[in-house]
Amino acid sequence: MYRRWLLVLFVFGLLVWLRWGKMLLSRLANAFRPGLPWRPFTFASLAAYGKWLRMKVRWKMEPLHGLFDTFPSREHIAWQLKTHGYFADDCDGLAYFSAQNVLPFCDDPAICYVVSVILDPFEVGLESSAHALCIFQSGGVWRVVSNDALNSGQWPSFEAALQDNDYCRGHSLLYAEIRDANLHYLQSWRPPV
């Protein structure tokens, strides 16, 4: 019973942060970050993007041990790529970055999502309990990008991709917040009871 209430409070706190706090802090932080005009990249195939991705992104913890958690702007991403030759951010920035780059391969650009997931912290540890993925439909199947990796899996449905990707597979998925490629909130997902 005690564990259940802790999980409810944990999920509720992260839900409030993901839905409102993170977006407000992101707007504020991006107002002070350097930027350049964003220009979409062109890739011959999704596989070519997957190879390029591993060379051009780095996972980097956000300030204050990840507590200063924000989405970067496209302009700041472009500035990092031009200045450093790569883009560095944590999982949510990398998911947003991939959402921008996989759009040409999507069956419909409206079904390319930046998905924040919350896993049971009692199973995976507190630091691994929140993660962001890019989930999109391409060629009639659902694909997942997690950090710098285009998962090899291909799933028949969004829900299957959400629950069976390399990061979430085998863990209790408590909640997911789904945003489009422009970070507009679309809906929440909770596992069936």
- pLDDT band, very low/low/confident/very high, at 11 (cuts 50, 70, 90): confident
Find the angle CA(140)-CA(141)-CA(145) to the nearest 5 degrees.
135
- pLDDT band, very low/low/confident/very high, at 69 (cuts 50, 70, 90): confident
List Cα–Cα distances, 172 to 14, 34, 98, 143, 167, in angstroms.
16, 39, 25, 20, 11
Task: Decide if pLDDT at 1 tops 80.
Answer: no
- Give me the residue spans of the domains in the chain: 2-189
**CB burial string 26-58: b at 16+ within 10 A, e below:** beebbeeeebeeeeeeebeebeebbeebeebbe
pLDDT tens digits, one per residue of 73-125: 999 999 999 999 999 999 999 999 999 999 999 999 999 999 999 999 999 99
Please tell me the predicted confidence (pLDDT) of residue 113. 98
Task: Decide if pLDDT at 58 tops 70.
Answer: yes
**Which of 85, 88, 91, 173 is closest to 131 using CA atoms?**
91
pLDDT tens digits, one per residue of 13-47: 888 888 898 999 999 999 999 999 999 899 999 99
Q: Tell me which of 108 and 3 has the higher pLDDT.
A: 108
What values do phi and psi take at 170, rounded to 5? 85, 0
Give strand pairing partners of 187.
178
pLDDT tens digits, one per residue of 117-163: 999 999 999 888 999 999 999 999 999 999 999 999 999 999 999 99
